[in-house]
Amino acid sequence: MSTNSKERFGYLTQKPETLLERIISASSNPGDIVLDPFMGGGTTLSAALKLNRQFIGIDIAKEACDLTAKRIGYTGKIINTLSTIPDFDIMKTFEFQDYVCNVMGALNTSQNAGKKGSGPDGGLDGKFIGDFKGWGLSVTVSKLDAREVKECIVDFMNNGYENGILVSRKPISKANEMVAQTTSKNLKFNKLELHYIGDLI
**Domain locations in the chain?**
1-84, 88-199
pLDDT band at residue 186 under the 50/70/90 scheme? very high
2 or 186: which carries more pLDDT confidence? 186
Nearest-angstrom CA–CA distance, 146 and 148: 6
Q: Which of 56, 103, 61 is nearest to 81 (CA)?
A: 61
Alpha helices per DSSP H over the chain: 17-27, 43-50, 62-72, 93-104, 146-158, 174-186
pLDDT value of position 65: 85
Nearest-angstrom CA–CA distance, 54 and 176: 49
Q: Is the pLDDT of residue 120 over 50?
A: no
Mean residue pLDDT of the chain comes to: 83
pLDDT > 70 in the chain, percent: 85
pLDDT band at residue 165 under the 50/70/90 scheme? very high
* Per-residue pLDDT tens digits for 122-160: 443 446 788 898 999 998 887 777 888 888 899 899 989
pLDDT value of position 124: 39
Nearest-angstrom CA–CA distance, 38 and 57: 7
Q: List CB contacts of 78: < 8 A, sequence separation 6 or more.
A: 65, 66, 69
| One-letter amino acid for residue 125 of the chain | D
pLDDT value of position 92: 84
Q: Does domain 88-199 have CATH number 3.40.1340?
A: yes
Class of domain 1-84: alpha beta
* Per-residue pLDDT tens digits for 37-90: 988 889 999 999 999 999 999 987 777 888 899 889 988 877 765 556 677 888
Q: Is 152 helix (H, G, I), strand (E, B) or coil?
A: helix
Query: At residue 165, what are phi and psi to the nearest 5 degrees?
Result: -120, 130
